[in-house]
Amino acid sequence: MTVFLAAASAAPLSSQTRRAGAPDDAAVRRAALTITEADVRGRIGVLADDSMRGRGTPSPELEKVAAYIAGEFRRFGLRPGGDGGTYFQRYRILRTQVDSASFVMALGRGAHGHWLLGREAAYWGGTLPAAAVTAPVVLLVGMPADTARPFGDAPVRGAIVMQVLPAPQIRPQTIGPIVVTAAAEGAVAWILVSDRSAAGFGALARSGLRPRLDVPGMTEDRGPAIPIFEVRDTSALSVLRAAGEDLATLRTPAGQGVRALPGFTATISARRTVLSETSAPNVIGVIEGSDPQLKNEYLFFTAHMDHVGAAGMGNGCTAQGADSICNGADDDASGTTGVVELAEAFATLNPRPRRSLVFMTVSGEERGLWGSRYFSEHPTVPLADIVADLNLDMIGRNWRDTISVIGKEHSSLGEVANRVTRDHPELGMRLVDDLWPNERFYFRSDHYNFARKGVPILFFFNGVHPQYHRPSDTVDLIDAEKESRIVRMVFYIGLDVANAAQRPRWNPESRRRIVEATGNQR
């Protein structure tokens, strides 16, 4: 482990020459040193206290956390950056349920299968059609061998794909990509035909009718753009026989393949009912830049203030013995604390950095990046004027001298982070790249909703641990001294970006893969 050098005064501030009117080195050091171990521990103690009941989205406790953060921004003198002159940007949340009268039906050659959702048919997910849809059927048996042309010459456009697949192979990571391909080729729905046990299927079917939370115009497009259903092969037996398909043969390699079923159609009639409506907040505070031109460009610091709530709240928390509250001290009270500490540190600087700084704590991250996704679709400043996002998620645990900074390779921000860290050996901190590429963490925290819109990002992350999403993620396990050094490092990186003559630049290939190929550019 790298030895921590306590002599802060011995370190250079940056390799950049200080511009005229910029705060002197001593003022910058004083601002950085307002980020303290005691403050970090105290703030996490507030955010991850049992009284906050895991900060689920939505919940009264999440509102308490948002009010606390807004109060701190106000105390520091930050300008409100939310709706209507407030610190809050709110988005609607609907509690919805699939109507139990919804059904899936297949017809042809005298055979008729009519399967009610919640009984003979299970709803997996995807966007439900606004009205009943009837379409020809394409039968897919097994998984296609040709991933480049999974449907061969079968007429998928405008069709409903019926896939016969053994239950053990039905996993989101298995069928997800092929369903996405089918949707891109114009398929309108997907029906899985499985050999799942009666008990297992019954549980799955009932789960599809449970109420769920949706953000209008946003969460319905998570995952495949077409709806996915499942029926048991025994329920579909008469339809398959009428099509000349033998169930026993379909379960063997000889039955594999894809083909149209002439004379057969399927119908999807499913609708969702709104049971209630509420909302959740993002909290936004702004420090206006000092440069007459560059103050119209913005550097963001972000973290998610929500967690997975308490057992029984439907947020994903499971009780651990007698403890039913998932406190989320590291995930992500640690990052939220970092953003608040950064706001306080930058508020002490005089003169202010050249670019404007935006400090935003979002909600709904644990639900599917809701708050940051909403902001990216309803930005409070022009997206084209956001130069970078520095995102803090889980920075209070694991190694004392190391932090993973994901995304360094995708833009010139990586060079900045490496240089600034070298310039500050007193922080005793080593930056490493993404150590877990197979986990796809780049796409799993709020920075991604900036990146997909073309904003360069850095994601500061100490990795998961056995307490991840469990009641045992508590403040006593936080290394507050280590976190204070990480947050100071982010302060220095942010100061460099905010004062630089040029805004950060994308690696062209990274921009092509992350932004342009997804069609999300601003």
CATH for 26-95+277-516 is 3.40.630.10
Q: Could you tell me the two tokens for 321?
A: 């013995």
- Flag whether pLDDT at 288 surpasses 50: yes
Type of residue found at 390? L
Whether 26-95+277-516 shares its CATH topology with 100-270 is answered no
pLDDT at 313: 87
Output the six-digit token pair for 77: 């003198």
To the nearest whole percent, how much of the chain has pLDDT over 90?
Answer: 80
Residue 12 has pLDDT above 50, yes or no: no
CA trace torsion 388, 480, 484, 302 (10° rounding): 20
What would the pLDDT profile of 424-482 be if each residue is shown by its tens digit? 999 999 999 999 998 999 999 999 999 999 999 999 999 999 999 999 999 999 999 99
Q: What is the per-residue DSSP string for 326-386?
A: ---IIIIIIHHHHHHHHHHHHHT-SSPPSSEEEEEEES-HHHHSHHHHHHHHS-SS-GGGE
Q: Return the domain boundaries, the chain.
A: 26-95+277-516, 100-270
* pLDDT reported for residue 174: 86
| Interval 22-35 mean pLDDT | 92
Residues 220-230 pLDDT 10s: 545 568 999 99
Q: Determine the CATH number of domain 100-270.
A: 3.50.30.30
Taking CA atoms, 97 is separated from 126, 275, 308, 463, in Å, by 14, 7, 21, 35
Kindly state the average pLDDT of the residues 391-420. Answer: 97
Q: Is 175 left (phi over 0), alpha (psi -120 to 50) or beta?
A: alpha
Least confident of 4-13, 300-309, 320-329, 409-418: 4-13
pLDDT recorded at residue 521: 60
pLDDT beyond 60 at 491: yes
186 contact partners, CB below 8 Å, separation of at least 6? 156, 157, 158, 159
Which segments within 235-297 are labelled E, that is strand?
A: 257-269, 272-287
Across the range 12-41, mean pLDDT stands at 78
Give the pLDDT confidence of 163-209 residue by residue, as tens digits: 999 999 999 888 888 998 999 999 999 999 999 999 999 999 999 99
- Select from 252, 220, 287, 236 the least CA-distant residue to 491: 287
Residue 436 and residue 345: Cα distance in Å, rounded?
Answer: 32
The mean predicted confidence, pLDDT, of the chain is 92
Cβ–Cβ under 8 Å, residues 162 and 108: no
- Beta strand 356-362 pairing with 189-194: unpaired
Structure tokens at 482: 């280590």
Residue 124 sits at φ, ψ, to 5 deg, of -85, -45
The per-residue pLDDT for range 119-165, each reduced to its tens digit, is 999 999 888 998 999 999 999 999 998 878 899 999 999 999 999 99
Percent of the chain past pLDDT 70, that is, above it, reads 93
In the numeric block, the tokens 């996704």 are attached to: 373
pLDDT given at position 224: 65
Task: Give the Å distances, CA to CA, from 399 to 208, 394, 453, 477, 479.
Answer: 41, 12, 32, 12, 9
Q: Stretch 329-340: mean pLDDT, rounded?
A: 98
**In the predicted model, what is the mean pLDDT of residues 93-99?**
94
Average pLDDT in the 356-384 region? Answer: 97
